[in-house]
Amino acid sequence: MVRPSLSHIISACALAVLLVTAHPGALVAQPMEGCPPSKDIMARFDDFLNTGKMPPDLGRWIMDPRMQYIEPWKAFDNVYFVGVCWVSAWAIRTDDGVVLIDTLHEPHVGHLIANLGKAGITLSDIKYVIMTHGHFDHVGGASKLKPLLPNARFVMTKAGWDEAIETARASEATPRRWSMIASEITVKGGDAIRFGGNTFTVLETPGHTLGTASYVFDVKDGIGTYRAITIGGFGLNAVKDSKQVEAYIASVDRVRTLVKHAAQPVTVHLAMHPPTIGLMETREKLAVRKAGEPNVLINPEDLSKWLAELRVGAEQRLEIERKAGR
Ligand SMILES: [Zn+2]
């Protein structure tokens, strides 16, 4: 897997929030076309981090369905990636229907639907849409998706619903306005959605936003079953004070505990921003996987290293926040 630096990870998530304040005068390096290698995408985020200004073409790239489209791919026997280049959406099959994680942003919902179809999933199969946090790139598609999913119920933490609805409302006066559905099912940490022979356990992981949640569930590969996590977001971009960073560190530690769990460790990370962990390159490895070879997504070592890096970065950020008296 490509292992991006911590600054990559932080700046990656920062983009989502700062799109609305993109600086029109920012210098453009190379226009982004299609879905380039993860390291190239993350290098562009470094530009953004260094200048503090969003390169306009990067902002356009994120929003442009033509640039963002990628074919769906099978990650596990019961899991398809159905998202776009920048943001993930995961479809998990169960015995009683499909659970979809996150909705993408509204301009990409057409591709999401096409990818579900290519993965053999009809819209009426989807019974739950579980959402990670209230940023537009993860839940901005809910309004468009909801009337198309006759059997689905939408799930998020209370703080997640609140921040989504509030952020959507705040976007109304901006060129990038989006809308959010009213809350449906509200979950809290420790809740378990038992459905179709799988269990989706909710882990509250505040830090990126206060409402950020992660979900733990089982994925299947041949005769093996593995514990996977979708981490809602670990960018520090929306941090307001040291308290939030402390919550972030506690969230990282909570996930680390799961990775170190003796009996049922989490060994698979199904990330919500593919370039942050080189997921598209992993996809290419899976595509040429031979019979008997392990699934490269089962990789607790990389997940542990990633979490350790996140923690180091958060400690540095905590110092900055405390020095600033925030
Ligand atoms: Zn976010």
Predicted confidence (pLDDT) per residue in 56-73, tens digit: 888 888 899 999 999 999
Residue 15 has pLDDT above 50, yes or no: no
Model confidence at 31, pLDDT cuts 50, 70, 90, reads low
Q: How far is the CA of 292 from the centre of ligand 1 (A)?
A: 37
pLDDT of 59 reads: 83
pLDDT of 229 reads: 98
Q: How far is the CA of 135 from the centre of ligand 1 (A)?
A: 5
SS3 for 7-56, per residue?
Answer: HHHHHHHHHHHHHHHCCCCCCCCCCCCCCCCHHHHHHHHHHHHHHCCCCH
Q: How far is the CA of 196 from the centre of ligand 1 (A)?
A: 29
Q: How far is the CA of 85 from the centre of ligand 1 (A)?
A: 15
Q: How far is the CA of 263 from the centre of ligand 1 (A)?
A: 31
Q: Among 211, 193, 210, 194, which residue's Cα sits nearest to residue 202?
A: 193
What is the mean pLDDT of the segment spanning 201-225? 96
Cα separation of 228 and 264, whole Å? 10
**Which of 1-15, 20-34, 65-79, 92-106 has the least mean pLDDT?**
1-15
Residue 225 has pLDDT above 90, yes or no: yes
Domains annotated for the chain, with CATH where assigned, are 6-58+67-323 (3.60.15.10)
